Structure 1
Amino acid sequence: MQTEYVTHYRGCDIHPVVTTAEGGRYTAAAIVTDREGETRTLGVEGDFAGSDEARNQAMELAIAWIQRRHVVSDHYVRRG
């Protein structure tokens, strides 16, 4: 399992987790921690040939989730 790679995006920390599966394949997930310390784990459906591909897919999923959350949050926050 690889978790040393961390990216900061829109105030969140993204930790992709890559795990070796059967036959030398890889699976991935992303752990996202926001500014308040709330953590969410996002799973990536797939069976990847390389660890870089698995990590990249986990990062893409996390960034998409953060972007959707950011848009929804901004929509419902009153600015005054």
Structure 2
Amino acid sequence: MHTNRTIEHGGYTVRAVVTDTETGRYSAAAILTDRDGETRTLGVDGDFADTREASDQALELALAWIQRRAVVSDRYVRRNRTGPRRDSDSVPRARRQA
């Protein structure tokens, strides 16, 4: 097992773990540790010809997972209006002519 690369991203420490397979190729996983010390392991599908390729794929998967978690759904975003609030019932509306 090789853990040759560690990076910090989005509040996580990410370690790429590369393992030799029985076929002479390599498998990969990423171990993510958050600020509270909780860990999560993400396995990468496929087998790789060299350790660098396996490590790159593990880090790419981890970064995509972190960034996807950072996206906030619109329903959790408060939208503040600028200027006075307008009541839609009291606003005169122009009629369209056909």
The TM-score bracket by the shorter chain reads 0.7 to 0.9
Which entry has the higher C-alpha Rg, 1 or 2?
Answer: 2
Give the equivalent residue in structure 1 for 2:47: 47
CA shift digits 1:25-75 (9 cap, x unpaired): 0000000011121110000000100110000000000000000111148x7
Q: Secondary structure at the match of 1:41?
A: strand
Q: RMSD in angstroms over aligned alpha carbons? A: 1.9
Runs of 4+ in 1 over 6 A off after TM superposition: none
Q: Secondary structure at the match of 1:32?
A: strand
Between the aligned partners of 1:55 and 1:72, the Cα distance in structure 2 is 29
Give the equivalent residue in structure 2 for 1:7: 7
Between the aligned partners of 2:3 and 2:25, the Cα distance in structure 1 is 17
Question: TM-score, length-normalised on structure 1?
Answer: 0.85
Which structure has more RCO (C-alpha within 8 Å, separation ≥ 6)?
A: 1
Aligned AA for 2:6? V
Q: Kindly, what percent of the aligned residue pairs are identical?
A: 62
Question: TM-score, length-normalised on structure 2?
Answer: 0.71
Matched, 1:71 2:71: yes
Give the equivalent residue in structure 2 for 1:33: 33
